[in-house]
Amino acid sequence: MNSSGGANSEAVDPERVPPGQYVTDRFPVLHAGVVPEVDLSSWDFTIDGLVEEERRWAWDEFLALPSEEVTVDIHCVTKWSKLDTSWEGVSVSEVWSRIEPLPEATHVLVRAEHGFTANLAIADLLGGPNLFAHRYDGAPLQPDHGYPLRLVVPDRYFWKSVKWVRGLTLLPEDQPGFWERNGYHMHGDPWREQRFWGD
């Protein structure tokens, strides 16, 4: 490990690290605003917008959905990458199978505590090993990392992996979320270095 907490670069397969990134063993914490205090007795997860019928799960109901574990590399727009991170939760495809999207839906706005949002194309949301995670590295999520639930989308910069997630709104077109309105890229592909507007 180097002095900044990064892994020895000689031990890392460069094919796993997008351009402009460095590998770290740490898990830096970055977010806007304060960590929310979550009351699980009133918590819910809701999917609305362009669906045949709005769906809502209380915490116990969401936790009872089939769970799986994934190990993925994650990449932050601030240029750190962390390899082989382990998550457990409900796959996005499992949740998606329980709704009926209208044919005109093309994107989602991911909603979280404090009104935070991020946008994703439905194709990106459903692609890859994406997960609504409630555990990280064998333990419940820490508040700083999104307790009780965060979305994990490893094929996009990590701001798209929304902490404290509370639901999805299906949309007929792309709509910027919080960081996208403030200069971050609408798509956020780390392999194409889509960090900011114009990239």
Residue 93 is predicted with a pLDDT of 97
How high is the pLDDT of residue 188? 95
Cα 174 to chain center, whole Å? 17
Is 135 within the bounds of a domain? Answer: yes
Residue-level pLDDT at 58:
98
Is residue 18 one of the residues assigned to a domain? no
Structural domain includes residue 178:
yes
The confidence score (pLDDT) of residue 68 equals: 97
The answer to whether position 15 is within a domain reads no
Rounded Cα gap, residues 153 and 137, in angstroms: 16
Q: Given the structure tokens 């770290």, which residue do they identify?
A: 24
Structural domain count, the chain: 1
Its domain, for residue 105, covers 36-69+86-192
Find the CATH number of the domain harbouring 187: 3.90.420.10
Cα distance between residue 166 and residue 55, in whole Å:
12
pLDDT tens, N- to C-terminus, the chain (199 residues): 333 444 445 578 888 999 999 999 888 776 656 788 999 999 999 999 999 999 999 999 999 999 999 999 999 999 999 999 999 999 999 999 999 999 999 999 999 999 999 999 999 999 989 999 999 999 999 999 999 999 999 999 999 999 999 999 999 999 999 999 999 999 999 999 999 987 7
The reported pTM is: 0.90
Q: Is residue 1 part of a domain?
A: no
Residue 31: predicted pLDDT: 60
User: What pLDDT sits at residue 85?
Assistant: 97
Helices (H), the chain: 59-63, 92-96, 122-126, 178-181
- Residue where the block lists tokens 């007795």: 41
**pLDDT at 151 (0 to 100):** 98
